[in-house]
A and B are shown apart, each in its own frame.
Chain A
């Protein structure tokens, strides 16, 4: 009877705790300025309009990573572009779809295939646009791409645009252009060229902050040639069921951010160097959506030293996580690599196979290896740990094999002649003599892992890569240094410490 009562009380307590704990929403973003700002806007809107708590997973490596993370439920929502959904995720070749048709197509397909919902678009496209200097466009009274045909102009286009079928070739077919001259050049040079008047027209992205910086104007695509890349929140359907208020909250943003507004937001982060969070807060206030976040300070970025000081506890926490990732991967590599190395040192065929495989893994670029992990393990710590482990495996395995094989044959022979069993030869002769070499392998593996682990931030594993990735995507180099310098210091410190361990594991008799 008493036990039943206790059980009932427990059940009530659990139910109460479940009811009391606010639901949690995980907001992701890709690793570029615009997407991180949009994710902040989504996050702060949900925070202010619902009871849910929001966890941010910004700067995930790209479309593939974000989409897989959403599919696996590791994030609940992130900002995506309809054209990207159509071309990159659905791999559709459909062309000439209107903006509305594109949205309708992805909305239907994602709902059916992936149980995901495209919410109402923010109100802008981030697609290709043709750009001119505002003053020139005004003087010639050019407003649309069709208007261009009236003048013989110098087109200075990016190399990629000249080649892509949805770039210059398609544009020529859709519009009667009057090309006095057409040349390929980089985006940055093209902007300068426009400035100096050496070219008249270039291509760009509709929300690029440089449109503001260089006082350019985006010509209207009056024949609807460019595919639509409307930005909209993409979320898992179950989020709507878990947190019923989310859709209503985000509907407040529908159509509220036009291309011009987005350009200004990008400009604020990239040029005025405001943080994405503060930028989002200010913008939401301007829409009359009170943000719960209350961005700290004025949102202005600080210099490196002050930033490093401000972030000291945060950095310590990231370093701890970084160490756990690295240490976990190296321990796993030792658990497999040392026994496998011992077995391989007795079997040349196994040695060749194991070294070959580990060598191949080593040549896979780290960011690619991390990406391969996504379909298998989703995002977060697990795939990062597995990828780091695969990298750490080769040095440990190779040094174990080499360490054992380089022991004088005569010593093994004497051990056997004196009546040692294989296990005793291993423990009393081979392992002590191979220990310094194995330890050197572990040291190499650790230093490699500390470096590679900074890339793990791209798949949401955290660590000292977090400020690096965030800083890179928002061109905040002080923030990059806040991750890079501690990571370098960590690598040097670990190398030194393991050097001591290496010396310590070297048997006295063979120390030089």
Chain B
């Protein structure tokens, strides 16, 4: 379970990225943070694994204030996926997937076995793709490796920042489908940042709409699907339908 309690972030220049954000993500569910760029959704995500510290307010993971947890330990227990995968170009696909197990001190054999499992999990062929470098993989394959890397140490929580944003429509649909299946199978708590309304409705259990650093609307997919057109989500859906 992840809780943000009245979390605010003001940058040194005075820019207020987040204003008193309250959010709750139940264990085993997926929350989508939806909004246009600059609305504060990535900042919110990064507060959870302490890549950013809040100016005020509190972030709790499984009931514990994250400030009481060593950030290194905290992050190793939280999967992290970014746009365009962010794979390390000097490591093979398998080495990328083994990043966190290596940090945790697993033996080479254990790591190898785990990355073979992970490749199968995300729909890659380990003997074929394992020893390739990121530059030798397609965008979709890279993002699958990125997902494998995030899941490597079986973290209960996964944070995803526009994970499918840079992919073509067909590949995106394939990966989204794969993700839905994994979500059902693995029971992770997921926070997903996206600007894509369809993606939010397809993948999330609950959606929080952000604008100008504030949560303007939050609810389950079912609730928001029936929200009036003059509500924030209605406006986004309207845009979507009009285009």
Q: Could you tell me which A residues sit within 8 Å of B by CB distance?
A: 410-411, 413-421, 424, 428-429, 432-433, 507-510
| Interface check B112, CB cutoff 8 A | no
Q: A424-B103, A508-B133, A509-B133 are in contact. Are A417 and B90 (CB under 8 A)?
A: no
| Interface check B82, CB cutoff 8 A | yes
| Interface check B92, CB cutoff 8 A | yes
In the complex, are the beta carbons of A411 and B86 less than 8 A apart? yes
Task: Give which listed residue, B49, B72, B89, B92, contacts A421 with CB less than 8 A.
Answer: B72
Hey, which chain A residues are within 8 Å of B133, CB to CB? 508-510
In the complex, are the beta carbons of A510 and B49 less than 8 A apart? no
Once the chains are docked, how many angstroms separate the CA of A508 from the CA of B75?
29
Q: A419-B73, A421-B72, A510-B135 are in contact. Are A432 and B86 (CB under 8 A)?
A: no
Hey, which chain B residues are within 8 Å of A417, CB to CB? 49, 51, 75, 80, 82, 159
* A-B pairs with beta carbons under 8 A, tally: 63
Once the chains are docked, how many angstroms separate the CA of A492 from the CA of B159?
52
In the complex, are the beta carbons of B76 and A410 less than 8 A apart? no
| Interface check B88, CB cutoff 8 A | yes
In angstroms, how far is the closest chain A Cβ from the Cβ of B12? 15
In the complex, are the beta carbons of B75 and A413 less than 8 A apart? no
Most buried by A among B92, B134, B135: B135
In the complex, are the beta carbons of B90 and A507 less than 8 A apart? yes
In the complex, are the beta carbons of B134 and A418 less than 8 A apart? no
Hey, which chain A residues are within 8 Å of B86, CB to CB? 410-411, 413-414
Hey, which chain B residues are within 8 Å of A420, CB to CB? 72, 103
Once the chains are docked, how many angstroms separate the CA of A415 from the CA of B102?
12
Shortest Cβ distance from B132 into A: residue: A509
Shortest Cβ distance from B150 into A: residue: A418
In the complex, are the beta carbons of B80 and A509 less than 8 A apart? no
Hey, which chain A residues are within 8 Å of B167, CB to CB? none
Task: Give which listed residue, A413, A415, A428, A433, contacts B89 with CB less than 8 A.
Answer: A433
Known: A419-B75, A419-B77. 11 other contacts (CB 8 A): A413-B82, A418-B75, A419-B73, A419-B74, A428-B88, A432-B90, A509-B88, A509-B92, A509-B133, A509-B134, A510-B89
In the complex, are the beta carbons of B89 and A507 less than 8 A apart? yes
Most buried by B among A417, A424, A507: A417
Shortest Cβ distance from B91 into A: residue: A509
Once the chains are docked, how many angstroms separate the CA of A417 from the CA of B149?
12
| Interface check B39, CB cutoff 8 A | no
| Interface check B100, CB cutoff 8 A | yes
Hey, which chain B residues are within 8 Å of A510, CB to CB? 89-90, 133, 135
| Interface check B99, CB cutoff 8 A | yes
